[in-house]
Structure 1
Amino acid sequence: MSLWDIKASKAVSISGKTTQQQSQKEAKNVTSACWVCAKGSKIAIGYDNGDLYIWAIPEVTSTQNSSSMGGQNLPIQRLNLGYKLDKLPIVSLQWIPSDGKAGRLYINGFNDHGHLFQVLILNEESESRIVKMVLPIAESCQGMELVTGLSDPNKHRQSALALLLKSGHICLYDDSEIERYLLHSQSRSPPTLPNCSYVKLPYGDSGISVAKFYTSNPAALASLDEDYFSSATKYPCLFSMKGKGQTLTSFTNIHKTRNLYITGHLDGTISFWDASCPHLLQIFMIKQQNKDDTSTGNPITSLQFDMSSSILLSGERSGMVHIITFKKDSSDNIFSFLNAKQGDNYDVRSIKLKGAVTTMSSISKSKHFAVGTEKGIVSNLLCSLYRTFFFFVTV
């Protein structure tokens, strides 16, 4: 390991040279590195055989006054990811300081035969300098990032550890729960392992079968007279760690919603997303049910939403068409119906057509919808508040 003086463009300190010569029988390559301090005095280096060395970095003044470039030949700590025989390459490292006390080092390693994600707590002031924990993820982690946001303007900052898994899903851990576990894991009553929650992305989700995008003001979106990205400030946090597994049914700034993203899923679910800024936020979902309150489980194959009348049509592979009429209020925003309590803001009627529904279209403000099926039949539906009239046209 070499320490370079950037201005002088030369190495001022070399460490580990003797150690490398002594271990030529076991060749290994550096795969990752990161600082493990706040002032640049220590660095962690990960190798392709799972070894993790922590080196002390000499101060610049001491290297400048020294006539020799010789440095330390032994690291201050030698660790290993998992069992030494596993030899999992350390793909990435990330250091999280914690008020100058017990910082945490996140270690991610995997190969074709296995994976492991480990967290270490390094505390020089404690008798137990190193405390380890393994996050029980089901598949290898392709990337990690610490996302920090404000859960509440009047509360402390909240951070989430986001792990991108091999399948494309994002796994979230509350970073404060990880810290709490590490600090109390050796006590008489250790806490339980932190729980993870999975983020369902509206784009790239394999469960989505159809999607539609609607905007309340196409002219404003085209001219960009209002900064599209500044509206992200209305969101309290990109990843909410509260109420894991639940959807956001409403929020105070729903009247500011300008863009709506509707997705239909393979399990029959319809999801509504606020797309007013690049961070899509799920508002609520509708899951079609049978008369006995069980889920239909039929994949959604087509969607059509008429904004002026607040009527949504969803078509299924089974040939079922659901007419969902939302209750409007006095607000000027055409998406204001999303602010009502979920389940109380819409009525559902259903009709059965021959063949799987393949396409839908509508004439704005007319309440007329055209529905096509795989049998070559086009149905013209006139949807009012209380009734639905339709006739068939065979193509």
Structure 2
Amino acid sequence: MFTKLFHKHSHDSQHDLEKVVTPIELNPHLIVHYGIPSTASHLAYDPIQQLLAVGTQNGRIKIIGGDNIEGLFTSPKELSFKNLEFLQNQGFLVSVSHENEVEVWDLEQRCVASALQWNVNITAFAVIQETSYMYIGDESGLVSVLKYDVKERMLLQLPYSISAHSVSEAAGALFPKHQSVVGILPQPCSRGNRQDKNFLEFIYLFSCIAYTTGLLLFAYDSGIFVLWDVSKDKILLIRGCNDGSGENSANARSSEPKDQTSGDEQEDKEITSLCWASLDGSILAVGYVDGDIILWHLPEGATANRNKTGKPVDNMVKLQLSSADSRFPVIYLQWSAGGIYNNNGGQLFVYGGDEIGSAEVLTILSLQWSPQREALENVRRENITLQGSFTDMILLHSYSVLENEEAPSLFILSSPGQLQFYDSSCLSRLNSHQDKTCAIPTHYRSAVPTTEPYLTAGRLISVHGNTKCSVAISEMASAAKSQGTHISKEKSSKWPLNGGVPCQLPALEERNIERLYIAGYQDGSVRIWDATYPMVLPLCLLDPEVRGVSVAGATASVSALDFSSETLRIAIGSDSGTVRLCNLSGNCTETRVHVVTGTKHEVLLGFD
């Protein structure tokens, strides 16, 4: 219907199409995306530059900063990502694809700076903070070191590795034949003499080992984990679930710890997740395929051998989120000190471990250790009910720019493409809530609102090459800006994304508008944006009602839209059967509206 209003029928349309359309135009591809992609699967966060990266299942990466700063990177291969990590404060992002290709993205140039194809399936990945070094673990049990050389723009594999065979020999024990590395954790703070940063270049020149504090922990899927001294190239400690002597247990379903009793030895079981559970790397949290969580205390001066009594030199505490026989594997673990800086407590964020068939939640365990760290004094549990299926989570530690960081803050990504931010005050309210399951997040604030108000129709209009339309709309935007006309914004709230380089937009009066996005809403309103650049700019808000004039069905939901770039006329169809034809003049505060209902036609002059 709307097409007939705006365009004349032409018998030569097919012939004109063949002349106009070029091969490039017949190869459509995505260049800009607004909002969170529905196929989003991974998150990465740079707390210094305050950037968030969102990886998708089809090889795209969305970079989000503050003030609607967005960028879209597209990998040459449309593959999902296994890992996504920033080289913090360096302007680079590292991704690992499901075809085991490691790519370094240059954020400033918006391109792949370097790539390296790994010949074995990559099963673990970690970037060493504040460096250009990274560890890779693969299904053959090998831990390798990579470095990104910024000057040469090259991703290099360094001649240093740790094989499962060498670990087995050093431990004097036989390992299973197939050992996949499932987790790699550089120790956050060595309790020995910490090397200064000159150690980085020293190690690179003489043994090409990445800079750490000297200690590295990595785990195999068979249930074994190893604490390795990188500088001395030897084992400090090796443990598995069958080291069960002196095991303690605590019930995380209750606010009070269960009586702690010695546990029997058990067979090794598959490790599914792990993280440090202390500031100095003295406590390790490990999640298992059967839903168990074990907290291992790694004592200072630990060695690969047991003491004279034959017992392990460490202590372990088991946590169970459910007493059911069938439980989900513990998929995700992350730790926050939560304002406690004495290593005696903090919060453990857990996804998984509950009974199979239960509602999806993210569990927060508040733990308090005894001064000797031989037992848990208190375990308190709270749940965040997820809005959709859990996909990924990023924990914002106390070093972030947010104020009042006594409690942690976090992003949660759920399917399909929902991003929520829970700030410290939100989680604090959760801690005090009686049912322990209620928390109200801040949703990702898209420049184009879709829920408040509810979007019912939208059109992306190209006006490229139409100078008359572009100039007229630019004049309208300038007039709206000078008169202080703005589209209403959502309630302001703390959003921890301030980084990124905004698009270098020309002055409004000098800019050619090439694309418009027009959206209609359930309340009858229509909004118009300049969509020429990744950062969309609001141009005009058309209220459903004309001031001083009563129009039947004006507030009915918008069901159809069309726009003529030749006449600057917008056709707005509603559920009530009314069609409004709005003429956009150079002054957005004045709108000439044609209202068509059946055979009736009225011309109204409205002022916004």
TM-score (norm 2): 0.38
Partner of 2:519: 264
Which whole-Å deviations, capped at 9, do the CAs of 1:207-236 have from their partners, x for residues lacking one?
A: 664335899xxxxxxxxxxxxxxxxxxxxx
The answer to whether the aligner puts 1:105 opposite 2:354 as a matched pair is: no
Question: Which deviates more, 40-49 or 292-301?
Answer: 292-301
Q: Quote the Cα distance in structure 1 between the aligned partners of 2:299 and 2:595.
A: 76
- Find the partner of 1:52 among 289, 293, 307: 293
- The yes-or-no answer on 1:132 pairing with 2:381 is yes
Q: 2:277, 2:295 → 1: CA distance?
A: 8
For residue 168 of structure 1, the aligned residue among 417, 420, 432 is 417
CA distance in 1, matches of 2:320, 2:540: 45
SS in 2 for 1:144: strand
Structure 1 window deviating more from structure 2 (7-16 vs 67-76): it is 67-76
2:582 pairs, out of 309, 323, 330, with: 323
Cα shift at 1:351: 3.9
Contact 2:243–2:312 (Cα < 8 Å) also in 1: no
SS of aligned partner of 1:121? strand
Summarize deviations over 1:242-295 as a string: whole Å, max 9, x none: 399xxxxxxxxxx98889974525746545669899677989966646946874
Partners of 2:239 and 2:281 lie apart in 1 by 15
- Provide, for residues 135-157 of structure 1, a one-character-per-residue CA deviation record: whole Å limited to 9, x for no partner: 12243211112468768xxx657
Determine whether 1:121 maps to 2:378: no
Distance 1:349 1:199 in 2: 35
Residue 274 of structure 1 contacts residue 283 of structure 1 at CA under 8 Å; is this kept in 2? yes
SS of residue in 2 equivalent to 1:18: coil
Which residue number in structure 1 is paired with residue 302 of structure 2?
Answer: 63
Relative distance call for 1:319 and 1:156 in structure 2 (3 A) is same
Aligned positions of 1:6-17 closer than 5 A = 6-17=230-241
AA of the residue aligned to 2:558: N
Structure 2 contact 327–356 (Cα < 8 Å) conserved: no
Q: Name the SS of the counterpart of 1:90 in structure 2.
A: coil
Which residue of the partner structure matches residue 39 of structure 1? 280
Question: Is the 8 Å Cα contact of residues 313 and 324 (structure 1) preserved in structure 2?
Answer: yes
**For residues 123-202 of structure 1, what are the structure 2 equivalents within 5 Å?**
123-124=368-369, 129-146=378-395, 160-182=409-431, 184=432, 193-199=438-444, 201=446
Which one-letter code corresponds to 2:328 in the other structure? L
Contact persistence 1:19–1:74 (CA under 8 A):
no
CA RMSD after TM alignment: 5.2
TM-score with structure 1 setting the length: 0.55
Aligned to 1:349: 593
Q: Distance in 1 between matches of 2:570 and 2:291?
A: 55
- Verify the 8 A CA contact 2:593 2:605 in the aligned structure 1: no
Report the Cα distance in structure 2 between the residues aligned to 1:4 and 1:142, rounded to whole angstroms: 31
Cα 1:86–1:74 shift into 2, 3 Å: farther
Aligned to 1:313: 570
- CA change 1:2–1:202 in 2 (3 A) is same
CA offset at residue 202 of structure 1? 5.8
Equivalent position of 1:90 in the other structure = 330
For residues 331-386 of structure 1, give each alpha carbon's deviation from its aligned partner in whole angstroms, at most 9, with x where no partner exists: xxxxxx8xxxxxxx5647244499xxxxxxxxxxxxxxxxxxxxxxxxxxxxx995
Deviation of residue 301 (structure 1)? 3.7
Structure 2 distance, partners of 1:302, 1:139, is 34
- Counterpart code for 1:299: S
**Is this contact kept in 2: 1:50–1:87, CA < 8 A?**
yes
**Is the 2:518–2:527 Cα contact (8 Å) retained in structure 1?**
yes
Q: Is the 1:143–1:164 contact (alpha carbons within 8 Å) kept by the matching residues of 2?
A: yes
Aligned positions, number: 297
Unaligned runs of 5+ in 1: 216-238, 245-254, 329-336, 338-344, 355-383, 388-395
CA offset at residue 119 of structure 1? 1.0
> How far apart are residue 133 of structure 1 and its match?
0.5
Whether contact under 8 Å (1:52, 1:78) holds in the other structure is yes
Q: Is contact 1:18–1:73 with CA below 8 Å preserved after alignment? A: no
Identity of aligned residues (%): 18
Change beyond 3 A, Cα 1:210–1:10: farther
